[in-house]
Amino acid sequence: MPEKAVLVVSFGTSHLDTLEKTIVPIEGDIAAALPDRTLRRAFTSGMILRKLERRDGLHIDNVPQALERLAGEGVRDVTVQPTHIMNGEEYDKLLAQAEPFRGQFGRLAIGRPLLSTEEDYRETAQALLEVLPERESGTALLFMGHGTEHFANSAYCQLEYLLHDLGRTDVLVGTVEGYPGFGEALRRLAERPEVRRMVLYPLMVVAGDHAKNDLAGPEPDSWRSQLEAKGYEVSCVLSGLGEYPGIRRVFVRHALEAAEDGAK
Ligand code: CO
């Protein structure tokens, strides 16, 4: 019977190809860093959990189910590590869902999402620079974040600002649902008439619906199509952040910090 567990919590995805390339390696790296803990998975998106169950007959626990199961197995010490990017709605939901289980474990520690401290932003920016092409005149790189009404949305601007401070003013960040949106990205591009080529990337852990459709899809309203219509030469790199080893290192460090001091 396992004494200790690490529960890796993701928003989730119904795209099994990106699941294998992003969430699975994050879970694997965290499990390897915490070899005395049994690894478990949970997703926070009810919509995705229902879709996987209905379409694939695949059951994945939500957070309360996973914690209930661990408590029932007699696990006493649980580290929960989210793969969320920001301290936003999904992370708040995770904290709220985990709280009632606190009394059922000797220790329940919850790690931070990707972007919390300044160190996190620096490591994340470095992780991106490890995989981005060198700066090239006439080319700009545009990341698509999700965006949220939650105040954590300011994370996108902070990350872009830091990338610019690191000398990469050719990298822009826009979001699907928050600020800065695609319109702001277009306006800032218009200030750079020398830019003719764009490389688009998802700024999301998985490269699912938003990446495949809203970013790179063939419909006229995708970012790719809209930029092409404006005359840019566009290419898309459909890798979720979970595919980047440097990003996984940040999640691993957060899991280790939570496992070690049991904070929160
Ligand atoms: Co969405």
Q: Which residues are annotated as a binding site?
A: 146, 177, 210
Centroid of ligand 1 to alpha carbon of 145 (angstroms) = 10
Centroid of ligand 1 to alpha carbon of 71 (angstroms) = 32
Centroid of ligand 1 to alpha carbon of 49 (angstroms) = 15
Are β-strands 4-10 and 197-202 bridged in parallel, bridged antiparallel, or unpaired?
unpaired
pLDDT of residue 172: 98
pLDDT tens for 195-239 read: 999 999 999 999 999 999 999 999 999 999 999 999 999 999 999
Centroid of ligand 1 to alpha carbon of 228 (angstroms) = 23
Record the pTM: 0.96
Nearest Cα to Cα of residue 173 among 215, 230, 123: 215
Catalytic residue IDs: 146
pLDDT of residue 171: 98
120/254 Cα distance (integer angstroms): 9
Are 50 and 4 in contact by the 8 Å Cβ rule? The answer is no
Residue 180: asked if its preceding bond is cis (omega within 30°), the reply is yes
Cα-flanking dihedrals φ and ψ of residue 178, to 5°?
Answer: -130, -160
Are 133 and 199 in contact by the 8 Å Cβ rule? The answer is yes
Burial pattern 100-117, b for ≥16 Cβ within 10 A else e, equals ebeeebeebbbbbbbbbe
pLDDT tens for 22-55 read: 999 999 999 999 999 999 999 999 999 999 999 9
32/79 Cα distance (integer angstroms): 14
SS3 assignment, position 193? coil
132/253 Cα distance (integer angstroms): 22
CA torsion through residues 43, 48, 50, 55, sign: negative
pLDDT of residue 261: 76
pLDDT of residue 263: 43
125/249 Cα distance (integer angstroms): 12
pLDDT tens for 119-145 read: 999 999 999 999 999 999 999 999 999
Q: Which residues are annotated as a binding site for Co(2+)?
A: 146, 177, 210
Cα-flanking dihedrals φ and ψ of residue 10, to 5°?
Answer: -120, 160
